[in-house]
Amino acid sequence: MTSDDLTKSADLTGHARGTGALRTRRPVYVDFLPPCNDACPAGENIQAWLALAQSGDYEAAWRELVRNNPMPSIHGRVCYHPCEDVCNRAFTDSPVSIHAVERFLGDTALDQDWQFEKPTTSTGKKILIVGAGPSGLSAAYQLVLMGHEVEIREAGPVAGGMIHFGIPAYRMPRGELQAEIKRIGNIGVKITLNHRVDDLLAEKEAGNFDAAFVAVGAHISKKIDIPNRDAGKILDAVSFLSQAKEGGAPKLGRRVAIYGGGNTAMDAARTAKRLGATEAMIIYRRDRGSMPAHDFEADEAMEEGIKINWLRTIKEIDRSTFKVEVMELDENGRPQPTGEFEELEADSLILAVGQDTDTAFLASVPGIEFQSDHTVIVGENMMTGHEGIFAGGDMVPSDRSVTIAVGHGKQAARHIDAWLADGTYKGAPRGALISHEKLQLWYRTAAPQVEQDRIPVDRRGEDFEEILQNLSEPEARFEAGRCLSCGNCFECDGCYGACPEDAIIKLGPGNRYKFDFDKCTGCAVCFEQCPCHAIEMADEPGIKEQQS
């Protein structure tokens, strides 16, 4: 086929050449999956609500956020923001402080008394939820919005689960916690407190529930066997933190040891200091690089005078004397004994070696199976082996965090809704992930992350005042504006201004652009100028067939 034949063929198919050589590729607008959205365990559309916050429309940003997560004020404080660990902005200066903007939106919503829109229709279906922790609350919120009737039954005296009982007020103040829970109740979620469910099937039948979602959390501290001759006071971390929150913490003495290396251990040590201990020390059998606690938790603990004894394990206790063995890591990173011993003195010991979930009340339910750690086995649709009973949160095999639990609740709600309609829930296909190498930041300028203010270290031991402070409105808007909109058009006009053929048509705010292929030459300048890689160059339809 000659060049003239190609030209005629292109003309006949409606793909005009423009003024340059025969166009073999054309630009197309695309949408990629930003890494922050991909990493969010709650499935938030982070990029979308950051864009709305950037424009100053904070209520719209909040409403976009709570489509997936009804508790942003909580999550802006307690989520460990894996979204920020993968933020492409880190390759320019530093990640966007997503959690800080989320907290700003959540607190603004509470200040302005923004409420969820109540459902206008009813399905006539009724769902029982066992546990008023983050997973149960999330599922209840989503199910009510779908038109179902929902009742949560909670064994404890307050809703919130481990957010309330396990996270100290200096990280999660109780006012904001209960305000977000109350707002979920305002749309019709009935929460019954001090109601322990011992016989799930009987409870389900008596209440005429069509389905049940069980999310009882992990409230039981794991036990370890430490030889002791005449041990002093030994406590478990979960009970200690719960009692401290209620104002009835036991007397610990002047020196307190905490055994464990997770976030709960850090919280227990810092709480002990606030309750009057002059010395709080953490004993952990691995090194810092292997500890499950997040770095900032350890940093804050050490700022407050907590001593951390790395690579140490307790072998024996004799009253207030602790015999500890020095450990070393082998080639696989596992701690191994060295035969070298030290002695430490402490008046009390707090065990923070992990938590288990109490799933014994499900043992009599036909079809439900358990892992060796007592977690409940569920299928892809989050249903247990018993038809109509679903489970999520800390009680199923998974990593554990507040945000993961909220994500489980949302997914369970979708599966329950589909199951009640004799269907199957299928999530939307996920787009290709956009990496920083694909961005073309011709406007790249340094704009470092806004740091949240903190109360001074010398004031932290006085009470449980919240340490991290909220961003101001200008700071939150600036921080939202640092988002690069990776992989998705944000209407910067880069393509529009760069096109030499006037082949790009603006469709108005929020509607992006379209290409006029009667003018487009396929020069790819728009592709090269798009900073967020929202344009790809695709093969011209029919060209390959014509050339073959």
Sign of the dihedral defined by the CA atoms of residues 497, 501, 504, 505, in that order? positive
The phi and psi torsions of 91 (rounded to 5 degrees) equal -85, -5
Q: What is the DSSP string of 471-508?
A: PPHHHHHHHHHT---TTS----SHHHHH-TT--EEE--
H helix or E strand, kind and range, residue 306? none
Regions of the chain short of the pLDDT cut 50 = 1-20, 545-548
- Phi, psi dihedrals of residue 73, rounded to the nearest 5°: -65, -35
Q: Domains of the chain: which residue ranges?
A: 3-31+489-547, 35-114+439-481, 126-219+357-420, 221-355
At residue 1, the pLDDT reads 37
- Residue 96, classed as helix, strand or coil, is coil
Can 126-219+357-420 and 221-355 be said to share one CATH topology?
yes
Q: Please give the pLDDT value at position 264.
A: 93
Q: What is the pTM assigned to this prediction? A: 0.91
Is residue 129 within 8 Å of 207, Cβ to Cβ?
no
- What's the pLDDT at 445? 76
Q: What is the model's pLDDT at position 534?
A: 96
Query: Which CATH architecture group holds 35-114+439-481?
Result: Orthogonal Bundle (1.10)
Give the C-alpha separation, 49 to 51, whole Å: 5
**DSSP H/E element including 166:** helix 162-166
Q: What pLDDT is recorded for position 13?
A: 38
User: CA 76 to CA 132: how far, in whole Å?
Assistant: 20
Domain 221-355 adopts which CATH fold?
A: FAD/NAD(P)-binding domain (3.50.50)
- The answer to whether the Cα torsion of 60, 62, 65, 68 is positive or negative is negative
Burial of 528 (0-12, 13-18, 19+ CB in 10 A): middle
CATH architecture of 126-219+357-420: 3-Layer(bba) Sandwich (3.50)
Q: What pLDDT, on a 0 to 100 scale, did the predictor assign at position 225?
A: 80
CA dihedral 484, 489, 492, 496 (to 10 degrees): 150
Instruction: Give the span between the Cα atoms of 465 and 304, in whole angstroms.
Output: 14
| End-to-end Cα separation, the chain, in angstroms | 9
pLDDT at 4: 45
What pLDDT is stored for residue 9 in this prediction?
A: 38
CATH of domain 3-31+489-547: 3.30.70.20
Q: What is the pLDDT of residues 292-335, one digit of tens each?
A: 998 989 999 999 999 999 999 999 998 889 999 999 999 988 99
Q: In this structure, what is the dihedral angle of CA atoms 22, 25, 27, 33, given to the nearest 10 degrees?
A: 180
